[in-house]
Structure 1
Amino acid sequence: MNTAGPTPETPDTVSAPRLEVRELTVRFAGLTALDAVGFTVEPGSVHAVIGPNGAGKSTCFNVLSGVYRATSGSVRFGEAELTALAPHRIAALGVARTFQNIALSPHLSVRENLMLGRHRLTRAGFVAAGLRLPSARREARRHGDRVTEIAAFTGLAERLATPVGLLPYGVQKRVELARALCMEPRLLLLDEPVAGMNGGERRDMAELIIAVRESLGISILLVEHDMGMVMRLADTVTVLDFGRRIADGPPSEVQNDPEVIRAYLGAASETGEDTP
C-alpha cells in the first residue's frame, strides 16, 4: 500500500466543508427511525456513528446520501442543503459512500469498477466519446491515470485486470473504498467498512482509512460495530439508540457514558453477546 497517498485532484478536496445534521427525523408508516438526531462532522475529521442493531445508523446514512427522504430536520454540507436532493446531486457535491453489503460489478475488472467512480467527473459528451475525438481521448487518459494512482494507494495495483468477483472478500471491500475515492469526494461515508473481515484485513483497512484522512484531508463519517476500530480512528463519536442520540463526544468520554453502557448492556443481554 502506498501510504504517501495520491495528490488531491482539486483544491476543494482539501477544504472539505462542515457537515451539520440538525433535528433529523425519519418516520416510516408511523415508526420513528430517527428522532430529532443532530451532530456535526468537522472538516478533515473522522466521525463515527455507533449503536446497537436497529438504532437508526443505516437510516441516517441513507438520508445523508439521498436514498431516504427525511420527515423533518436539516442536513447541510457547507452551503448546500442535502435533504431535498437526489443521490446523484449529493454525489456531485463531493459526497461518496460505501455499503455494508458490497455493491460492485463482479464480472468487471477492478480497473473497470474504479472507472465507474470517475463517471460524475466526465466532461466529454456521448458523441465525442463515441467518435474518439482528441478531447475525449485526453480525458480518458487522465481518468485512467488517476485510477492507476488510486489503485496503488489502496494496494490494488496488481489487481487492476482481475474481475472483482474472483477477489477475496476483504480485497473487494478495498475496491469499494477505492471506487469511492475515484469520485474525488470531500466527505466519505463508510458503512461498516470492516464487517466480515478477519483480523489482518481489519488492520489493513484501518490503516487505509487513516492514510485517506492524512493524505487527502477528506472528512470521514463511518458506521461501525468494531469498537476497537472506532476508538482508534474516530475524533468524535455519536451514539444512537432506538433512533435517538444518547451521547456525542470524544471516544474516551462516550465509552464511559452511563447511558451508552446501559444501551449496549441491554443489547448484549438480549442477544447473548459480549459488550464492546
Structure 2
Amino acid sequence: MTVTQGTIHAVIGPNGAGKSTLLNVLSGLHRPASGGIRFDGHELTRMPPHAIARLGIARSFQNVALSSGQTVLQSLLLGCHQRMTAGPVRTGLRLPGARREERRERARAVAEAGRFGLSGVLDRPVAQLSYGDRKRVDLARAMCADPRLILLDEPVAGLNAAETAAVAELIRGLRDEAGVTVVLVEHDMTMVMRLADRITVLDFGRCIADGPPEAIQDHPDVLRAYLGAPA
C-alpha cells in the first residue's frame, strides 16, 4: 500500500485481517518477516520505535494505553517527551534552557488540549474521565509529538453516535488544519466511507482491494470477505 501525504488513508477488514498488526509493524513494535516500509526516504523495518517516533510518526491505541495515575496534562506532556533535549541533569538543576523547554512543551500540551476539548480537565486524573474523554486524551497525546503521520487504531470503538461524529471531525481537522497524514484502522464503515480519501482492504494479512471509497464499497472481493461467498 502507498499512503499519499496529506490524506486520510483507511485500512479495513474483518476481525483478524491484520489491521492492528500492520500498525504495530509501521510503528516498530513488530518486525516484518519480509518486505519493507519506507517513510520519507527512511527504511523503517529495522528501526526501534523511539527512532521511528522521532521521524514524525505517532499513534493511538485500540485499547486506550494511558497511565490512570497521571493527570491529563501529565499524559499530554509524555507525548512531548521525544522532542525534549535537556536531559535529567539540566532538568534536575533547573537550568534556564531546561526551563524554557519545559514552558514550550507545556504550552504545546495546553494547546492540544484545547483542540481536543480537554482544557477543563487538565488537572484531573485520567482514571476519573469517561471512556470518550480518555480516547480524546490518547489522540491529543499522539498529536503532542508533532507528527507528520499519525496511526489511529479504532479511535471511535466503544463511542456513541455523538462522540463518534465529534472524533471524526477532529480527525478531519488533523488533515485539513494541521496538515497531518492519517492512517486510520476502523470498523465503523459509515465513518470510513465519509472520512477516507483512500481505503486499503485486508483479509488474512493480504491486500484484496485498494482505492477511493466509491470503488471499495461494491468491490466483489470486499463483499465476499465481509459477507461470505454466495451459495
Query: What's the TM-score once normalised by structure 2's chain length?
Result: 0.98
The equivalent of 1:41 in structure 2 is 3
Distance 1:124 1:198 in 2: 42
Q: Percent identity?
A: 58
Q: Could you tell me how far 1:58 is from its partner in structure 2?
A: 1.2
- After TM superposition, the structure 1 = structure 2 runs for residues 173-184 of structure 1, keeping only pairs within 5 Å, are 173-184=135-146
- After TM superposition, the structure 1 = structure 2 runs for residues 128-139 of structure 1, keeping only pairs within 5 Å, are 128-139=90-101
Distance 1:242 1:124 in 2: 45
Question: Is 1:150–2:109 an aligned residue pair?
Answer: no
**Unaligned 5+ residue runs, structure 2?**
none
Corresponding letter in the other structure for 1:202: T
Corresponding letter in the other structure for 1:229: M
Q: Could you tell me how far 1:219 is from its partner in structure 2?
A: 0.4
Question: Is 1:198–2:180 an aligned residue pair?
Answer: no
- Matching residue within 28, 32, 37 for 1:70: 32
The equivalent of 2:81 in structure 1 is 119
The equivalent of 2:149 in structure 1 is 187
Corresponding letter in the other structure for 1:146: R
Runs of 4+ in structure 1 over 3 Å off: none
What SS class does the counterpart of residue 73 from structure 1 fall into?
coil
What SS class does the counterpart of residue 2 from structure 2 fall into?
strand
Query: What's the TM-score once normalised by structure 1's chain length?
Result: 0.82
- After TM superposition, the structure 1 = structure 2 runs for residues 172-251 of structure 1, keeping only pairs within 5 Å, are 172-251=134-213
Q: Could you tell me how far 1:107 is from its partner in structure 2?
A: 1.1
Distance 2:87 2:188 in 1: 44
The equivalent of 2:59 in structure 1 is 97
Once superposed, what is the RMSD of the aligned Cα atoms?
A: 1.1
Distance 1:55 1:147 in 2: 35
Distance 1:145 1:122 in 2: 13
Offset from partner CA, 1:11-31 (integer Å, 9 cap, x none): xxxxxxxxxxxxxxxxxxxxx
Distance 1:164 1:46 in 2: 28
Distance 1:139 1:67 in 2: 29
Distance 2:116 2:157 in 1: 18
**Unaligned 5+ residue runs, structure 1?**
1-38, 270-276
Q: Could you tell me how far 1:148 is from its partner in structure 2?
A: 0.8
What SS class does the counterpart of residue 52 from structure 1 fall into?
coil
Q: Could you tell me how far 1:42 is from its partner in structure 2?
A: 0.3
Q: Could you tell me how far 1:125 is from its partner in structure 2?
A: 2.0
What SS class does the counterpart of residue 117 from structure 1 fall into?
helix
What SS class does the counterpart of residue 70 from structure 1 fall into?
coil
Distance 1:251 1:146 in 2: 35
Corresponding letter in the other structure for 1:175: V
Offset from partner CA, 1:59-115 (integer Å, 9 cap, x none): 111110101111111100011000111111111111000000000011110000000
The equivalent of 1:140 in structure 2 is 102
Q: Which structure carries more helix by proportion?
A: 2
Distance 1:159 1:213 in 2: 25
Q: Which structure carries more strand by proportion?
A: 1
The equivalent of 1:10 in structure 2 is none
Distance 1:266 1:65 in 2: 32
What SS class does the counterpart of residue 240 from structure 1 fall into?
strand
Corresponding letter in the other structure for 1:226: D
Distance 1:190 1:56 in 2: 14
